[in-house]
Structure 1
Amino acid sequence: MPTQSLADIVNVTVEVSAVAPAAGDLNLGLIVGPSTIISDTERTQVYSGTDDMDSDGWTGTEPEYKAAVAYFAQNPRPNAVVIGRQDTTTPETPLQAVTACRASNSDWYGCYVCGATDADIEAIAAYIESVNPAATFFYDTQSADVASGTTPNVMSTLKDSNYQRTFGLYSSTVQYSGAAAMGVAMGLNTGLANSAFTLAYKTLVGIATDDLTTTQVTNIKGWNGNVYTNFGGKYNLLVQGTMADGTPFDQVLNLDTLQIDIQTAVVNALTSATKIPQTDAGVTTLVNVISSVCAQAATEGMIGPGIWNAAPVLGLQTGTNLPNGYIVLADTIANQSEADRAARKSPPIYACVKMSGAIEHVVIGIVVNQ
């Protein structure tokens, strides 16, 4: 029997929303070297392990391969590495190679360069300081001047330059220890609950400790450098987990992560909505998006409860307790200038966060009563 279409009464359409882009994980390292397995035109190749490199023609004798072995040996193991080609037939400096590798693949966050001299390290550190997207640089040095306290040396120069994105490891005999430290950082950065970490007191799997005197360790740490040595006859530890300016590595990583995650979440909100109205309700939508990112950072352990000791921000006063470790505030539409309204800008939004920090030094008093 003939029947009529229900679409004349109720017309239902199906629209599948596009998947919003995810923020970068900041857990991918780059290893740069002069071997010719990767062509100079291809420039970079991503590998999930040394087995992948074997299949691609690497023999295991190349400096990049040995650095990758140190990188992947860490626990937890990093998921992948980018191997970059330095084209020495041009000839090309390590800095030029890193710059070219950034143009070829911008996903990497950590960087290690095989065979870099002190001059190369200083040049790459300056580049990494301003590169976009944000990145970090790991290096190792065998410079005797670093351990003896003789200046200038590569660590003292980087410290004086106040570089916040360069992690230096003194290693008198072991090559590729910087790649191992990068592997620890990339492997630990999982984004899971309670996954926040520091680089202090970690083990470098497959890397022998340096036999250093207390004076040598003090000298190296004085340049904001790092060592891998034995403590108390029982513990092989990476100390102290800081960048050239003294900032802990985890603080640099956490702030980079928070910035990128907030930026990505807000762009996704703007592009997925038909529009976000230029009203207080529209601003609240953005505040909620940013708050969700901060909540995730708190879940990971980057942000923690504490007292806001910085200058006042809108209604947030110095001395206020932040039980969640963050608060997101925005000015009102009513306070917006006509020029900003005409330009369709939001009022200023502030994500005020309290970093959870880390306890790395403990003082204990034993009080005995007999």
Structure 2
Amino acid sequence: MSLSINQVVNVSVEQSSSGASKRDMSVIAIFTDEMCDDFYDMNSRYVIVSSADDVANLFGTKSRAYKAAQGLFSARPKLKSALIAKYVKADLEVAATPYKVAGSAVSTSYVSYKQITDGYFSFMLGEQMVTIDKLSFKTVSSLNDVTTIINAALKTKTNDKITVAFDETGNRFILRATASGSDNSVKLGYVNDQSLEGTYIGQLLNLTDGKATIYNGTDATTYKAESVADAMTALENQYQNWYGAYFANVITDSELLEAHDWVVSADLKVLGYTETRSANIEYLDSNILKKLAKKNSGRLMVQYNNTGDEFAGIEMMAIALSTVWAGNNTAKTVKFKQQTSVTSDDKITLNEATKCKRLGINYYTDYSGVNMLAEGTMVGGTFIDVTTGLDAFTNALQVQLFNKLQGASSKIPQTDRGQEILIASAKVIGEQFRNNGFIASGKWTGDEIGDLVYGGTLDSGYYFYSDSFDTQDSADRNSRKMMPIMTALKLAGAGHSVDVVVKYNI
């Protein structure tokens, strides 16, 4: 046996630490006081959805959550996902629910069953395996006919304890106990193949492990009413990667104020709202939106709609939050954008538009026949893209510097060289936001920062500066603090109007 070349050249691979991820600033949480199967669990606060159809399958097509989701997923570019969050607005008596296995959407029609005369499948019922066999589907003309044949066999084999139904909305089969409650004797398992004689149909029903979801039966219970702040805090405690909030149910003025104040005190959140009352565009002390405009938090975006569309504001929010900050020239203004799920308020007068603009309320109308959003502001007047852009920059910079400190294979020293390493890392984010168009070169009109003085030019649109460690006091030195990094950004802004002067002579 020869000696290993490790004796001459020894190569080792250092494990790379996994860093923190940037928040997804496009995720909107739709709060609803409606219930779905997932919400019957006392500890469940949200479900993740990727389309309006997902919401329809959970809450039904008549639900307000579904209508809000239609508006959200109508925005272009389309958001990848959203949260539907639970809000128990009033004491709620929740009826007992049955054990069930809900399949995913099927891709086959009843025709796939017509040639089967010896179909079978098995499933766990309580502690025993139940097999349903000798199923003939020669006479079926719909998927509901398929369930009729299966139910006849289930009634005999389970003593009428289990039934199967076809959900037209979700295009899926659901196996369930006929009685509700948490009785483990009717606890259901996935459909499986026991390798019997005949044709196994579990793959057609989509009630198998990997294609279906098991829901345990629950006894009747009472949910105590919670405040808006309670609901938002409960969601935040379970899941933090959401940015926008919108309430699908009707909320009172006091609840809107409570939601606004919660968002303002939270870590980088925004709130969306649709106003349908003409009185609430008036500059009156009794108007809740005037009170919120005076706060000028830059955290509440409102769309006024006089056509009766209660969910116009959520599509506007989706448009605003769909910005891809890691792209090139992707920063955008909300003004001028078209909404696909909202009817244009073509009866909005100049007087009404002026009232909305004074409070920072948006509206969707047509200008010489062109439908567009105006003015792209938060309540109070801060432009929406300024708030969302600064939030995205703040999060990206925070994560970048954290990962630099946490992921370095050797320590970053408390020296001016160590500070240069951090600032070099911060410049990566500066370049990213220059490339996406959020910041740009321009004249600095703020306070002096380092070598940057009033009237100076920010060529790159950003500037990071910190003092030398020679100026650090011993307390911060002993606490292992790096020197504070001062940041200057020159926002690119967005052109919203232009005056044109024409001169001529004869």
Deviation at 1:69, TM superposition (A): 0.6
Confirm or deny: 8 A CA contact 1:27 1:190 kept in the other structure.
Answer: no
Confirm or deny: 8 A CA contact 1:200 1:239 kept in the other structure.
Answer: yes
Q: Which has the larger radius of gyration?
A: 2
Q: How does 1:256-335 map to 2 (within 5 A)?
A: 256-273=391-408, 274-335=410-471
Q: Secondary structure at the match of 1:139?
A: strand
Structure 1 residues 365 and 280: CA distance shift in structure 2, 3 A: same
For 1:96, the equivalent position in structure 2 comes to 230
For 2:313, the equivalent position in structure 1 comes to 178
Q: How does 1:227-242 map to 2 (within 5 A)?
A: 227-232=363-368, 234-242=369-377
Please tell me the residue identity of whatever aligns with 1:52: D
Please tell me the residue identity of whatever aligns with 2:65: E
Deviation at 1:151, TM superposition (A): 4.3
Structure 1 residues 95 and 346: CA distance shift in structure 2, 3 A: closer
Mapped to 1, the partners of 2:478 and 2:231 lie a distance apart of: 45
Please tell me the residue identity of whatever aligns with 1:5: S
Deviation at 1:148, TM superposition (A): 5.1
Deviation at 1:266, TM superposition (A): 0.8
Please tell me the residue identity of whatever aligns with 2:339: L
Q: 1:355 aligns with which of 475, 491, 506?
A: 491
State whether structure 2 residue 152 is matched by structure 1 residue 18: no
Q: 2:49 aligns with which of 47, 50, 54?
A: 47
Deviation at 1:93, TM superposition (A): 3.1
Q: How does 1:19-38 map to 2 (within 5 A)?
A: 19-37=18-36, 38=38
For 1:154, the equivalent position in structure 2 comes to 288
For 1:250, the equivalent position in structure 2 comes to 385
Confirm or deny: 8 A CA contact 1:139 1:178 kept in the other structure.
Answer: yes
Please tell me the residue identity of whatever aligns with 1:18: S
For 2:265, the equivalent position in structure 1 comes to 130
Q: Residues 56-85 of structure 1, C-alpha deviation per residue, up to 9 Å, x if partnerless? A: x33211111110010001111111111011
Mapped to 1, the partners of 2:16 and 2:458 lie a distance apart of: 36
Mapped to 1, the partners of 2:300 and 2:340 lie a distance apart of: 21
Please tell me the residue identity of whatever aligns with 1:204: Q
Q: Residues 146-194 of structure 1, C-alpha deviation per residue, up to 9 Å, x if partnerless? A: 2455542122111122222001111121111111111112223453111
Deviation at 1:13, TM superposition (A): 1.6
Q: 2:300 aligns with which of 162, 166, 170?
A: 166
Mapped to 2, the partners of 1:190 and 1:283 lie a distance apart of: 26
Confirm or deny: 8 A CA contact 2:55 2:69 kept in the other structure.
Answer: no
Q: 2:277 aligns with which of 134, 140, 143?
A: 143
Confirm or deny: 8 A CA contact 1:94 1:116 kept in the other structure.
Answer: no
For 1:336, the equivalent position in structure 2 comes to 472
TM-score (norm 1): 0.94
Q: 1:200 aligns with which of 326, 335, 347?
A: 335
Please tell me the residue identity of whatever aligns with 2:433: A
Q: Secondary structure at the match of 2:322?
A: helix
State whether structure 2 residue 251 is matched by structure 1 residue 116: yes
Structure 1 residues 165 and 11: CA distance shift in structure 2, 3 A: same
Mapped to 2, the partners of 1:196 and 1:54 lie a distance apart of: 32
CA RMSD of aligned residues (A): 1.6
Please tell me the residue identity of whatever aligns with 1:178: G
Confirm or deny: 8 A CA contact 2:32 2:86 kept in the other structure.
Answer: yes
Q: Secondary structure at the match of 1:236?
A: strand
Q: Secondary structure at the match of 2:390?
A: helix
Confirm or deny: 8 A CA contact 2:281 2:359 kept in the other structure.
Answer: no
For 1:225, the equivalent position in structure 2 comes to 361
Confirm or deny: 8 A CA contact 1:146 1:219 kept in the other structure.
Answer: no
State whether structure 2 residue 218 is matched by structure 1 residue 216: no
Deviation at 1:54, TM superposition (A): 4.2
State whether structure 2 residue 83 is matched by structure 1 residue 82: yes
Mapped to 2, the partners of 1:54 and 1:174 lie a distance apart of: 19
Structure 1 residues 258 and 200: CA distance shift in structure 2, 3 A: same
Higher mean C-alpha displacement, 87-96 vs 101-110: 87-96
Confirm or deny: 8 A CA contact 2:48 2:84 kept in the other structure.
Answer: yes
Q: Aligned pairs, how many?
A: 366
Q: Secondary structure at the match of 1:75?
A: coil
Q: Secondary structure at the match of 1:188?
A: coil
Higher mean C-alpha displacement, 289-298 vs 34-43: 34-43
Confirm or deny: 8 A CA contact 1:146 1:220 kept in the other structure.
Answer: no
Confirm or deny: 8 A CA contact 1:330 1:349 kept in the other structure.
Answer: yes
Q: Residues 294-347 of structure 1, C-alpha deviation per residue, up to 9 Å, x if partnerless? A: 111111111100011111112211111111111211111112222222222112
**Matched-pair identity in %:** 27
Q: Structure 1, unaligned stretches of length 5 or more? A: none
Mapped to 2, the partners of 1:50 and 1:191 lie a distance apart of: 26
Q: Residues 83-103 of structure 1, C-alpha deviation per residue, up to 9 Å, x if partnerless? A: 011123222233332232222
Deviation at 1:16, TM superposition (A): 3.4
Mapped to 1, the partners of 2:33 and 2:434 lie a distance apart of: 42
Mapped to 1, the partners of 2:381 and 2:491 lie a distance apart of: 17
Mapped to 2, the partners of 1:281 and 1:355 lie a distance apart of: 29
